[in-house]
A and B are shown apart, each in its own frame.
Chain A
């Protein structure tokens, strides 16, 4: 029954069905006055129902002129769009390589790992790197940092911001030896000013904030990164009803994907780990369950390999599975120390 697909209230739907209007075509030829008298509802209500019904039926019609189905985009245009989007660098060349250049905008990337592996470090690094101006190959955008655990430390963000500005100055001095250098106008304080920090204390606030983000971002159009650190914390306790948790998480992931596509920004979610019993042994896996693992576009796992930190692309529609080493230094995330590698080979 097509009427059941319409987003109208249950009682209105019930009245339509009992009045004999079971398909959309039956509604297309009736006037609002006739509908109102038939169902014994007010005329304004009848007008509303007809408006919703006509919107519903238009989706199935061919537009004729431009597209076969309205709202669709052909793959060639998408390719051009993807190539023109700048990616957010992670400041580690190996990591950027396996990510295809960096964290992609318009996609939701999930990054997870054991405590102490560097998730928050990577998060702060990305929040700083998204602000690299366009002249230096960055996006020149602002960042939203949603902190659910209280792990964001401003002192560390300042350290990373200062290191980033120093690197940019060195880069510009290296490239442009002449006097007319492209001066780095951005200062560490400006970088800190462009990070919008939200502190969330419960899952209700988390859901509310993600709902509110759409309005916030439309008022701050230059936000190019939404970082959630971490998405798991409030969902690991307080939830007796696991089915509800799955539904709520599903709703959140859909909204985040919508945000990413609509505003062309990158959404990065940091996740924790848990152990799962599969195939006769315990394995580490990212938290929040199997249903959640389908929700993100890309999934990166950070882990210890011997004495080094590695990142592994666990799931991605366009990147191949690969791992790359990285290190956490006092300047932020950087390439793993090559001299260390040399020592290991000996």
Chain B
């Protein structure tokens, strides 16, 4: 929409020619200037500029939908009511059905906690045929850190859905639907994303997993008001991809330790010293999600995986539709399984903190009992 050409907008000939003569070709060029700048540049009067801008704005503005229409579209057009069930009952209940379509879901946690296991399970679930509760489509798995293990995925599949996987050829078909990309640089990643956008709808892609973007950003990010995020373009591109194709997008994120300067208060909070949380959390060795605060604003759902006193938890840290719940989980041969479906409600900013205290084995094989 932003790159719509002005010559195609049906402006009166005279002013259309003037725009072209001054090299204002797309709507973006015209709208980035203020009215007075345009007046100076084009050498026309204010009323002409105003009516031209009003005309351009009307054409470039997106159409509206009522919220009711949105809801009806979701119910009618989308499989499974617009959510991908994770088969973890408590989590699905909290997320009103599962990982929602059309928005970014982030899975963040320290190393070895189970993020990739979670993504593997989700990829499998998306590739399952519809009558088994899957999305019956392809999955694109962007594996930056070479963590994708197809053997592990088939093992998860065989353990969780033995009736499907023992059928002849099903394992091959399911695995065949999962496409793994391994970009080695930021530019390779950018290119893959653009390719994906083009082929998304034609190829029935139903889930996009990015594991993870952090490795592509080299070096630490410095604090500063005017520094633009290195992945800024990618973030908005992925978001618009998710929305326009209405598929779930899951992105994993790493953690890093918190700088002393990061638990900073607002200027009005600095005045009550010693009363508020500021001091106490400053010295805990808390971990924070990588990729910065811009990313934190951009994701819609944030699932935090952490371990506290040896028990792993999956927390719904940011979600517009769920209460702040934490579920204890274990990793078994069939992927992640919750120990209980009733999550504990966490009050306050604790839902956002990431702890990493003592988890040893990545996979507990005694979890077989939990079947």
Q: Enumerate chain A interface residues (CB-CB to B < 8 A).
A: 7-12, 48, 52, 114-116, 120-121, 124, 144-145, 149-159, 189, 192-205, 207-212, 215-216, 230, 232-234, 236-239, 242, 244, 247-248, 251, 272-278, 281-285, 289, 301, 303-308, 312, 314, 321, 329-330, 340
A25 → B minimal CB distance (Å)? 22
| Cβ-defined contact, B261 with A237, below 8 A | no
| Cβ-defined contact, B226 with A304, below 8 A | no
One digit per residue, 1 when the CB lies within 8 angstroms of any chain A CB and 0 when it does not, for chain B 22-37 equals 0000011001101100
Residue total for B at the interface (Cβ-Cβ under 8 A): 83
User: Which residue of B27, B223, B265 is within 8 Å of A277 (Cβ)?
Assistant: B223
User: Which residue of B44, B225, B240, B277 is within 8 Å of A201 (Cβ)?
Assistant: B240
A272 proximity list for chain B (CB < 8 A): 293-294, 297
Q: Which of B236-259 contact A (CB under 8 A)?
A: 236, 239-240, 242-243
CB of B229 within 8 Å of the partner chain: yes
B296 proximity list for chain A (CB < 8 A): 114-116
Known: A9-B44, A156-B321, A275-B223. A306 touches B61 (CB 8 A): no
CB of B171 within 8 Å of the partner chain: no
| Cβ-defined contact, B2 with A202, below 8 A | yes
B45 proximity list for chain A (CB < 8 A): 7-9, 12, 48, 52
| Cβ-defined contact, B34 with A251, below 8 A | yes
A52 to B323, CA, bound (A): 60
Q: Which of B43-78 contact A (CB under 8 A)?
A: 43-47, 53-54, 56-68, 70-71, 74
- 9 extra interchain contacts, Cβ-Cβ under 8 A, other than A9-B39, A251-B34? A10-B43, A48-B45, A196-B66, A208-B27, A208-B31, A209-B62, A216-B64, A283-B270, A307-B349
| Cβ-defined contact, A237 with B297, below 8 A | no
B74 → A minimal CB distance (Å)? 6
B42 and chain A: residue at smallest CB distance: A9
| Cβ-defined contact, B46 with A7, below 8 A | yes
A13 → B minimal CB distance (Å)? 10
B44 → A minimal CB distance (Å)? 5
| Cβ-defined contact, A198 with B71, below 8 A | no
User: Which residue of A197, A210, A330 is within 8 Å of B65 (Cβ)?
Assistant: A197
B98 → A minimal CB distance (Å)? 12
A278 proximity list for chain B (CB < 8 A): 267
A12 to B47, CA, bound (A): 14
A124 to B102, CA, bound (A): 18
| Cβ-defined contact, A305 with B46, below 8 A | no
Provide a sorted-by-A list of 17 A–B residue pairs whose CB atoms are within 8 angstroms. A115-B297, A151-B103, A155-B96, A197-B66, A198-B63, A202-B1, A210-B57, A212-B54, A212-B57, A233-B297, A272-B293, A275-B261, A277-B225, A278-B267, A307-B347, A330-B323, A340-B347
